[in-house]
Amino acid sequence: MNESLKYLQPAVAAQLANMELRARLVVEGFITGLHKSPYHGFSVEFTEHRQYMPGDEIKHIDWKAYGKTDRFYIKQFEEETNLKSYLLIDASRSMDYASKGNIKKFEYASYIAAALSYLMIEQRDAVGLTLFDEAVRISLPPRATRPYLKELLKELDNARPANKTGIAAALHLIAEQIKRRGLVIVLSDFFDKPETVMTALKHFRHKGNEVIVMQVLDPLERSFAFGSDAVFKDLETQEEIMTQPWHIQKAYQQSMHDFLEFYKRQCRDNNMDYVLLDTGTPFDKAIFEYLNKRKRMN
């Protein structure tokens, strides 16, 4: 495996010293992998250029870039912002779960958020961060400067899952707080009443925002392959129950399938992008989904 590509693996990224290093190496790994399957032919311009748009001043056209690509590109400046993005991360206690050999769901979500923040600011987009459980815990407004990236990454590095889940109530509150429409990316396991969660997600659409729903699960939460005997512990109430999972595995898998299909179908019907991830999935899938969305919004 290419040295850069290995940082797209969650278990490898988790071994790095801090969130800033993770963000940079994950993005560098992604860029290295852009020319490899399954993303062959997909490209995106990072940092200093964007495509010419009617109304742009001709004096800002980069003629060297035109000579190389036969396309008009505008040189961008540090203060120019193309898009406001809002990263919303579920930091409730249910996100604290990890099966053996995998990282916690919250860690996985925070690494994706860190990489996207790094990428957005490199593209001169503004990015904000909100952590929520049953209430809003941290809310940083979108900005597009490199010093601000350090602040975002520090919050992600220090955050820990806590408190009960209250996704719908928290999302409604956040939707009301967003004053300028943009791109809203929600990272959560969505272990709450699906109907009320979807109503809250539609709140962002009603206010004119584009939405990407990234559902993060542990592989065992999808397969329920726990073996013959297991003790289940509710992370929010600390209650424990002894059971034999294989007795109910088939029924559980059907219920999980229906649960995921609900979100997938409802997101499609309401013009939201839906991405199903588990904590063993390489990070390039989430980054590619964001870039694909970003490309469609231009």
- Strand-pair partners of 129: 87, 140
* CA-based R_g, the chain, Å: 20
So what's the pLDDT on residue 46?
42
Residue that has been written with the tokens 């919303």 in this structure: 88
Put the strands of the sheet holding 210-217 in their side by side order. 136-143, 126-132, 84-90, 183-188, 210-217, 273-278
So what's the pLDDT on residue 129?
98
User: Of 82, 118, 48, whose CA–CA distance to 294 is shortest?
Assistant: 82
Reading the chain (298 residues) residue by residue, the pLDDT tens digits are 567 799 999 999 999 999 999 999 999 888 877 655 444 444 444 445 666 666 666 667 777 777 777 777 776 554 455 789 999 999 999 999 999 999 999 999 999 999 999 999 988 899 999 999 999 999 999 999 889 999 999 999 999 999 999 999 999 999 999 989 999 999 999 999 999 999 999 999 999 999 999 999 999 988 766 655 555 555 566 676 556 555 667 777 888 899 999 999 999 999 999 999 999 999 999 999 998 898 888 7
The H or E element that residue 63 is part of is helix 63-69
Query: Under DSSP, is residue 141 helix (H, G, I), strand (E, B) or coil?
Result: strand
Q: How many Cβ atoms sit within 10 Å of the Cβ of residue 147? A: 8
Name the CA dihedral angle for 241, 276, 263, 134, rounded to a multiple of 10 degrees.
60
So what's the pLDDT on residue 71?
73
Q: How many CA atoms lie within 13 A of 287 on its CB side?
A: 32
User: In the chain, what are the domains?
Assistant: 5-34+79-297 (3.40.50.410), 44-76 (no CATH)
What is the C-alpha separation between 19 and 261, in angstroms, rounded? 33
Contacts for 247 with CB less than 8 Å, ≥ 6 apart:
none
User: Of 96, 168, 158, whose CA–CA distance to 132 is shortest?
Assistant: 168
Contact 240, 211 (CB under 8 A): no
Hey, what amino acid is at 253? Q
- Residue 27 CA to its chain's centroid (Å): 13
- Strand-pair partners of 75: 49
